[in-house]
Amino acid sequence: MKSGWEVVIGLEIHCQLATRSKIFSGASTAYGADANVQACLVDLGYPGVLPVLNEEVVRMACKFGLAVNASISPRSVFARKNYFYPDLPKGYQISQYELPIVAGGELVIRLDDGSDKRIGITRAHLEEDAGKSVHEGFGQFSGIDLNRAGTPLLEIVSEPDMRSAAEAVAYMRKIHSIVRYLEISDGNMQEGSFRCDANVSVRPAGQQKLGTRTELKNLNSFRFVEKAINFEIARQIELLEDGGKVTQETRLYDSLRDETRPMRSKEEANDYRYFPDPDLLPVEIAADYIEHVRQTLPELPDAKKLRFTDQYGIRPDDAEILIVSRALADYFEMLAGETAATAQIAANWAIGELSAALNRDGLDIEQSRIPPAQLAGLLDRLTDQTISGKIAKEVFEAMWAGEGSADSIIDAKGLRQISDSSAIEAIVAKVIAAHPEQVAEYQSGKDKLIGFFVGQVMKESRGKANPEQVNEILRQKLQES
């Protein structure tokens, strides 16, 4: 970012809650059904139907509020946001407006320089999603799919506390991690279960007054959030440096062109005429209910990270990576618990080989081809020096390919490490005999050549020789010859 400017960013994250039925009806929320088969009369806004609040969304919102140290409102109110759009069946969206269910929370993000930063959460409120307009395949008409209408959303509004696109992404990732820990959202961004709007403004460094902001709509990947915000920052700074003014407006990010552009002003000229929805009672939450929900909270990412460094003694940076997903953290703990290897080795493998293999095959940790107990078997052989680190990677790939347990692969492929010193001595003798020139050089002081000899021995043993023993025997024999 150009110096002399300060960036101010606030995010509104729309998180789809993982309920089985909709927020105000009994219709299913499952993704991917044929158009309009998961919309009941309530979702279709038929004359005479009434909304009935799904209690599960209240529980989920409470969990979120507690996880970010927010207060849970003893009384929150659903309001109607009135506007006409074909995919909004009732002509209004039911949302919380003046009295949201969650108010005043915070979380901590880790910055690139390793320091921590607190980000305030203004509020989180419950609302229903609208349907979807389909503009392709209907000639001059548009199609409407109301399967999504009435899907429960938690809209999480941050304070304007972020100062760069990277901070915004770190915040969004943290929220993503928390809602997945709480199991209140699947966080699936491709399916639109987790998306955000970003409010972006810039001001001269040191200025108190906020600059005019623009709102970037519907960003549905971490990468797009970063790119859209960076584009918008550059656009605003350039505009201001050229003596222009930023217009307060809503802009859309076009990922194909990597640019933001204003939405049609018509779409913005709405006066939503919010008022309390008379079909729904205020949501009243008792203190003992909140306590009950608090008892059900899982260990959250920050606490888990602390525990991982304390209990397992692994590097804080590794702990940070492991805790991003609750499933990965669980995998690590099972692995560390089952293997004789150190926890740091378990962490290295979970973050390294395992994550790489999952990424390569596009799998979630839950779908890992190697369960933790099996991977533990491999790390045990590494630790008791049955195999070397290099061989271990080979065995891992074979396990990933479904060839069996570590032990059976090691035996079947004859990969057991050679630790018998007489066998290693024989190979060493062969290597020394084959390279008289290098032996002479070594003996005249070129110590670095030890690496060459180790390599030759390992090659000759097809990687199976115990590297430490090889080193020791080589040094001894090279002295002697």
Partner 1 sequence: MADETHTLHSLTLAAMARGLSGGDFTATELTRHLLARVETIGKDLNAFISVTADAALASAAKADKARASGKAGKLNGLPIVHKDLFCTRGVLTTCGSRMLENFVSPYDAAVVERLQDAGAIMLGKTNMDEFAMGSSNETSYFGAVKNPWDTSLSPGGSSGGSAAAVAARIVPAASGTDTGGSIRQPAALTGTVGIKPTYGRVSRYGMVAFASSLDQAGVITRSAEDAAMLLSVMAGFDPRDSTSVNHPVPDYVAGLAAPVKGLKIGIVRQHFDAGLDPQCATAVREALAALEAQGAVLTEVDLPNLDLSVPTYYVVAPAECSSNLSRFDGVRFGYRAEDPKDLMDLYCRSRGEGFGAEVKRRIMTGTYVLSAGYYDAYYLQAQKVRQLISEDFRNAFATVDVIAGPTAPTPAFAIGAKTDDPITMYLNDIYTIGANLAGLPGISIPCGFAGKLPVGLQLVGAHFAEQKLLACAHQYQQLTDWHEQGPEAFA
Q: Which two tokens stand for residue 310?
A: 């304390």
Candidate residues 17, 19, 21, 51; the one interacting with partner 1 per rule CB under 8 A:
51
Q: Which stretch binds partner 1 (CB under 8 A): 227-235, 272-280, 295-303, 329-337?
A: 272-280
Candidate residues 114, 139, 278, 402; the one interacting with partner 1 per rule CB under 8 A:
278
- The reply to whether 49 sits near partner 1 by the rule CB under 8 A is yes
Nearest Cα to Cα of residue 108 among 68, 59, 146: 68
3-class SS shares of the chain: helix, strand, coil, % to 5 = 40, 20, 40
Distance CA 421, CA 53 (A): 74
- The reply to whether 138 sits near partner 1 by the rule CB under 8 A is no
Q: Scan for tokens 């901590």, then name that residue.
A: 108
Distance CA 15, CA 208 (A): 32
CB of residue 43 vs partner 1: minimum separation in angstroms? Answer: 11
- The reply to whether 139 sits near partner 1 by the rule CB under 8 A is no
CB of residue 138 vs partner 1: minimum separation in angstroms? Answer: 13
CB of residue 82 vs partner 1: minimum separation in angstroms? Answer: 5
For residues 377-416, one letter each, b for 16 or more C-beta atoms within 10 angstroms of the residue's C-beta and e for the rest, the string is bbbbbbeeebbbeebbbbbbebbbeeeeebeebbeeeebe
CB of residue 256 vs partner 1: minimum separation in angstroms? Answer: 26
Distance CA 144, CA 131 (A): 7
- Rg, the chain, Cα only: 30
CB of residue 44 vs partner 1: minimum separation in angstroms? Answer: 6
Q: Which stretch binds partner 1 (CB under 8 A): 163-171, 267-275, 348-356, 425-433?
A: 267-275
- The reply to whether 402 sits near partner 1 by the rule CB under 8 A is no
Counting every residue, how long is the chain?
Answer: 481
Cα angle, residue 196 at apex, residues 193 and 198 outer, rounded to 5°: 175
CB of residue 103 vs partner 1: minimum separation in angstroms? Answer: 21
* Residues from 368 through 397 that contact partner 1 (CB under 8 A): none
Q: Which stretch binds partner 1 (CB under 8 A): 12-20, 38-46, 104-112, 437-445?
A: 38-46
Q: Which stretch binds partner 1 (CB under 8 A): 45-53, 154-162, 198-206, 286-294?
A: 45-53
CB atoms within 10 A of CB 116: 9
- The reply to whether 80 sits near partner 1 by the rule CB under 8 A is yes
Q: 271 forms bridges with which residues in the sheet?
A: none
Candidate residues 89, 105, 150, 372; the one interacting with partner 1 per rule CB under 8 A:
89
List residues binding partner 1 (CB under 8 A).
41, 44-53, 80, 82, 84, 86, 89-92, 144, 271, 273-275, 278-281
